[in-house]
Chains A and B, each alone.
Chain A
Amino acid sequence: MLTINSIKKGIVIDHIKAGTGIKIFNYLALNKADFSVALIINASSSKMGKKDMIKIENAIDVDITALGLIDPNITINIIKDENIVEKIYPKLPEKVEDIITCKNPRCITSMENYIPHEFYLVDESKGEYRCRYCDEIYRLTEI
């Protein structure tokens, strides 16, 4: 496996589903960063087979909630003095607005386009969300 120097201070986003790293990279706009960032794809993982990782050598603010929607199984490690001082697991938000769109053709949102798409968490472990209007259930993995 290719090695990338461990970082002194910053954030390591680990256990990203293989293929999803680039989405998080883009979401955090890391291509515009002026600090060092490593996006590692298809790293071997005993748990996951293959995984992606992102190492960020800077203490930036990340929206853990939004990252959780992209991939709820990630681990966010906060690094200080080359040590992990905190591990954060994202929690799925209770309410999501205009990130997921309802695909039910019978739903009023399919007919009138000014309506905000709103979803409410129904099952955290399964990542299931319910449309506010038609009650259709969606899994994050389907979206």
Chain B
Amino acid sequence: MLKGRHLIDPMDFSVQELEEIFKLAEQIISNPKDFSHLCDGKILATLFYEPSTRTRLSFESAMLKLGGKVLGFYEPNSSSVAKGESVADTIRTISCYADIAVIRHPKEGAPKVASMYSDIPVINAGDGGHQHPTQTLTDLLTIRILKGRLFNLTIGICGDLKFGRTVHSLLKAMSRYENNKFILISPEELKIPDYIKKEVLRKGNIDFIENEKLEEVIDSLDILYMTRVQRERFFNEEDYIRLKDSYILDAEKMKKAPKDMIVLHPLPRVNEIAYEVDSDPRACYFKQAKYGMFVRMALILKLLGVDEHVND
């Protein structure tokens, strides 16, 4: 039962619960009109303590498409937050006005704290470099739809594997399904941390290899998940400039990729995918953004428990 639950960590929901959400999302995709009034009279609060326009618009659009309304702040300077109100007090107040809340916060664990003091479901929309569970839901739904399954896949993950939280969550989430294999492609400086290798990959007996060159492994992939190399992760500008171009996907590299491989990216991109790749049918990152909205629609319905009369 997902009604009344919070989503703080990508692993909060079981594989079965995720399956419920994905099935509902697929129903929404095929018959969006059937869902356009399910949230009539409901309000989603968007509490953005740091700006993230993309994530906020995805949530707002999801709620509006369900017939609900949206309120919130996305500039903490202009809100009571600037006057020093605590997360606990803010969520208690918002609980009086809204039916469900989305929170983005620069501090790790802030959404967890909000959920402890909240009477309404809380969704973590990113807490610092810590968790971003709806991105993981988006990735899984996209793979499920475009590849038809979440198991038996060879997944290449390329770019910043050291700091990229979406990468760590994706690894954890995909490790729960049978027979998935990972190819981890990154420069030495941005390799996957040892604790992820130990806690997730070795512990779960998951097949993985590490490689520094995308072109050497691209022909064996079912999925290529590209990530951006973030400037703020580097201690100095020189290192950033040296590394940022090392892992750029272009038409030349795509020639070596299997015909049915899909390219995903959490967006926004910097320059790690050349614009010439966008017209390749295997480039699925904009579809992925759209599935992100659908999976958020399904999530909102499940947490509010308003999907109950919808047939399975």
Contact = CB atoms under 8 A, between A and B. Distances in A.
A114 B105 contact: no
Contacts of B128: 106
Contacts of B107: 106-108, 110-111
Interface residues of B, number: 14
A112 B130 contact: no
A108 B107 CA distance: 5
A106 B113 CA distance: 14
A131 B128 CA distance: 15
B108 A107 contact: yes
Interface string B163-204: 000000000000000000000000000000000000000000
B67 interface: no
Query: Sorted from nearest, which 9 A-B pairs have the closest CB atoms?
Result: A133-B109, A134-B108, A108-B107, A108-B109, A108-B110, A134-B109, A106-B108, A112-B86, A133-B112
B49 to A, nearest CB: 10
B32 interface: no
A44 interface: no
Nearest to A104: B108
26 contacts: A106-B107, A106-B108, A106-B129, A106-B130, A107-B107, A107-B109, A108-B107, A108-B109, A108-B110, A108-B113, A109-B109, A110-B107, A112-B88, A114-B86, A114-B88, A131-B109, A132-B109, A132-B112, A133-B108, A133-B109, A133-B110, A133-B112, A134-B108, A134-B109, A135-B108, A135-B130
A19 B109 CA distance: 36
A108 B108 contact: yes
Contacts of B112: 108, 132-133
Name which of B105, B108, B127 has the most chain A CB atoms within 10 A of its CB: B108
Interface string B72-103: 00000000000000111000000000000000
A77 B287 CA distance: 66
Interface in A68-112: 104, 106-112
A115 interface: yes
Contacts of B113: 108, 112, 115, 133
Interface of B: 86-88, 105, 107-110, 112-113, 127-130
A111 B86 CA distance: 9
A131 to B, nearest CB: 7
Nearest to B8: A133
Contacts of A112: 86-88, 113
A105 to B, nearest CB: 9
A89 to B, nearest CB: 27
Contacts of A110: 107
Contacts of A106: 107-108, 128-130
Given A107-B109, A115-B113, 11 more contacts: A104-B108, A106-B108, A107-B107, A108-B105, A108-B107, A112-B86, A112-B113, A131-B109, A133-B110, A134-B109, A135-B108
A106 B130 CA distance: 9
Contacts of B87: 108, 112
Nearest to B109: A133
Nearest to A109: B109
A90 B53 CA distance: 51
Nearest to A116: B116
A131 B109 CA distance: 9
B50 to A, nearest CB: 13
A66 B105 CA distance: 34
